[in-house]
Amino acid sequence: MPPGQQRHHPVLPFLLAASGIALFSVMDAVMKSASLQVGAYNAMLFRSGFGVLLMLPLWRATGGRWPEGPALRLHALRGAISAGLATSFFWGLIRLPLAEAIALSFIAPLIALYLAAVMLGEKIGRGAVIASLLGFAGVLVIGAGRLGREALSEDALWGIASVLLSAVLYAFNLIFQRKQAQLASPQEVALFQMGFAGLFLALAAPWLAVTPSLPVLGEIATGAVLAAISLMLLSWAYARAEAQVLLPIEYTAFIWAALLGWLVFAEPVTVETLAGVALIVIGCWIAARKAVPAHTEQTTL
């Protein structure tokens, strides 16, 4: 094996991506609590600031250098998309139950699966399609059970529209995530995504910014730590596996959302939820079995 290269087991990117999604789900619950108190905009603005403070020393300590033009442009693009998708998601999240919002957001991986073929030139395998459709079917089962029992208010409808807008932006974000992971280290990805997102959000600060209380700042700081770790895990995974292999893992977020909704927000776990989760897990299992063979990668960490 040539120097500077390392062999990675095909399951390792899958496991690290699943861990990243789990941490993101915990972050969603923390940020929902903060957004209920200071609004989605302020929660995202301050989370971006905390994220930069957290990642800057780590990036420098690992030999980080200012990115070249193509990488910097991609960081800026993904930062703008991230600012829009996160703010719209948290705005909708405070108007919807956690599990329902996550279920609606699952339109994103299904869109991204086919965007990967158009934008990245990836060949879509039959197993990847089956895995994504199973996961999406699980979301439909859960969503139908929830929406069939509860009347939707006007506020909830606006929440649904906001989460769906976030899902469309997230589909593009997932595609750019793989491109970005191939150009930069996980530390650089996390730092510059948070930095550019914060810069774009700061444009509205003179009109919208409000300083949160210390307890809320603590929640937002926790959200920043979880987001930074998740971004690095996902960046490492997407640099070592095709998008179509990892995208179905996004559906595992509903498992965590249902659990957190029950523990934190007293949302019951229904039969429909359990049935949907079963479909989601089966889909992810199929995706893991269809992972590409072990291969040699340049080590960047």
* pLDDT tens digits, one per residue of 34-88: 999 999 999 999 999 998 999 899 899 988 889 888 889 999 999 999 999 999 9
Q: How confident is the model at residue 299 (pLDDT cuts 50, 70, 90)?
A: very low
Q: Encoding tokens for residue 297?
A: 């990668």
Angle (CA) 195 52 106, round 5°: 65
How far, in Å, CA of 109 to CA of 124, rounded? 13
What mean pLDDT, rounded, does the chain reach? 81
Residue 231 has pLDDT above 50, yes or no: yes
> Pick the residue with more confidence: 288 or 23?
23
In angstroms, what CA-CA distances link 195 with 27, 212, 252?
18, 20, 28
Q: Kindly give, in sequence order, each residue whose CB lies less than 8 Å from that of residue 83, ignoring residues fewer than 6 positions away.
A: 44, 48, 196, 197, 198, 200, 201
- DSSP at 70: H
Mean pLDDT, range 17-28, rounded to an integer:
91
pTM: 0.77
For residue 5, what are the β-bridge partners?
A: 298
How far, in Å, CA of 243 to CA of 235, rounded? 11
How far, in Å, CA of 288 to CA of 245, rounded? 7
How far, in Å, CA of 14 to CA of 247, rounded? 10
Q: Kindly give, in sequence order, each residue whose CB lies less than 8 Å from that of residue 112, ignoring residues fewer than 6 positions away.
A: 170, 171, 172, 174, 175, 243, 247
> Do 49 and 228 form a contact (C-beta atoms < 8 A)?
no
Residue 7 has pLDDT above 60, yes or no: no
Angle (CA) 210 212 214, round 5°: 155
The three-state secondary structure class of 211 is coil
How far, in Å, CA of 14 to CA of 25, rounded? 17
Mean pLDDT, range 208-215, rounded to an integer:
94
How far, in Å, CA of 134 to CA of 286, rounded? 10
> Do 177 and 235 form a contact (C-beta atoms < 8 A)?
yes
- DSSP at 166: H
Residue 290 has pLDDT above 70, yes or no: no
- What pLDDT sits at residue 283? 77
